[in-house]
A = this chain, B = another copy of it.
Amino acid sequence: MISYTIDRILEIVGQGAELVGAYDGDVKRIASLSDAGAGDLSFLGNRKYRSEVANSSASVILLPKNYTGEPKASQLFIRLENPNYALALICRDIENSLYPLPPAGIHPTASVDPAAEVDDSASIGAFCYIAAGARIGAQTVLENHVSIGREAEIGRECYLSAQVSVADRCIIGDRNRLLAGCVIGSDGYGYAPIDGEHQRLPQIGNVLTEADVDIGANSTVDRARFGTTLIQAGTKLDNLVQIAHNVTIGRHCLIVSQSAIAGSSVLGDRVTLAGQSAVIGHLKIADGTIIYAKSLAMRSTEPNAKILGTFGQNANLMNRIYVLQRKLPELFKKFEELEKFVKSQK
């Protein structure tokens, strides 16, 4: 399917690579260390797999600079600063050939309101609907079945996958990637209790994403009650994530799958929410905070805080508690013995 010479690989990964050993064929496939065979390129991107390098039959392996093992016969080690990123550069080259961007223009089945503005270099796929007053930037791609609301703005070089919807007046920054089925600008969840019933609080704000934001498949980002739900530059959301109304997320955050941020909370920069974690409403989560998988932040945090557990503990304390929990059966038994002994001494 693919075919790369070693020279072309080295051209792609750039300067500074150290070569150990030699392989004189072409690279035909990319595979993990354990799956790879002759003609395959593999890589060590996670220390966990370090021991698999020696047994790998890959013809070419991308390795970190500090990897000291020796290649087999007809095997080439390429040592570099960041094997993960080097692989990314190769994959990007493959991606460009496997998945070329669709040509500019509007698919005949799409429906674009006469009062919308679509850049001539944009590509609008089948069954896309673009409402009045919406604007689509240069070189932006809408795959198919995409819905763009009234007066919404999509920046340049964005990629919107199938069945994405961006609601009225929302603003999407340049180079955003919105994956299939994600919903930007749905009504925030706000009700006032009136006589035992829940009266809807109209949600008249919008969503604004800055440049280089990614939103995962089927994730939901609610419009603000008033003002703006804001996602700052470089932040990446995984699939099935929930961002409530009036949340602000800082720059370069990672929000992993099925996590959630409740209303009006504010995240700083470089915050990580691991999978299935959450932040309750009206908190300030400081720069560099990590909330571990399945954990819940219940209080605002200090910079670089680490939060673990469903009751939002400091991770060091919580890890200590987890260890002691395992010793509870023994503690209860020993306590009973000690109590008996003491009482027998009376």
Chain A residues close to B by CB (< 8 Å): 30-32, 35, 46, 48, 82, 84-85, 87-88, 91-92, 94-95, 98-99, 107, 109, 111, 125-127, 129, 143-145, 147, 149-150, 161-163, 165, 167-169, 177, 179-181, 183, 186-187, 189, 191-192, 194, 196-204, 212, 214, 216-220, 222, 225-227, 234, 236, 238-240, 242, 244, 246, 252, 254, 256-258, 260, 262, 270, 275-276, 278, 280, 282, 293-296, 309-311, 313, 317, 320-322, 324-329, 331-332, 334-335, 338-339, 341-342, 345
Task: Tell me which residues across on chain B come within 8 A of A196, comparing CB atoms.
Answer: 252, 270
Q: CA A161 – CA B185 in complex, angstroms?
A: 11
Task: Tell me which residues across on chain B come within 8 A of A246, comparing CB atoms.
Answer: 32
Asked if B294 and A234 sit within 8 Å, CB to CB, the answer is no
Asked if A197 and B234 sit within 8 Å, CB to CB, the answer is yes
CB within 8 Å for A326 and B331 given contacts A144-B147, A161-B165: no
13 inter-chain pairs at a CB distance below 8 angstroms, sorted by A residue, are A46-B282, A48-B282, A85-B192, A91-B225, A145-B165, A165-B181, A180-B186, A183-B218, A276-B276, A280-B293, A311-B322, A321-B328, A342-B342
Shortest distance from the beta carbon of A279 to any chain B beta carbon, whole Å? 10
Asked if B328 and A325 sit within 8 Å, CB to CB, the answer is yes
Partner of A84, one of B168, B201, B321, B339: B201
Shortest distance from the beta carbon of A194 to any chain B beta carbon, whole Å? 6
Asked if A200 and B88 sit within 8 Å, CB to CB, the answer is yes
Asked if A227 and B32 sit within 8 Å, CB to CB, the answer is yes
Shortest distance from the beta carbon of A148 to any chain B beta carbon, whole Å? 9
Give A295's nearest chain B residue, CB to CB: B310
Task: Tell me which residues across on chain B come within 8 A of A144, comparing CB atoms.
Answer: 129, 147
Partner of A258, one of B82, B202, B242: B242
Asked if B35 and A227 sit within 8 Å, CB to CB, the answer is yes
Asked if B332 and A327 sit within 8 Å, CB to CB, the answer is yes
Task: Tell me which residues across on chain B come within 8 A of A295, comparing CB atoms.
Answer: 310
Asked if B94 and A202 sit within 8 Å, CB to CB, the answer is yes
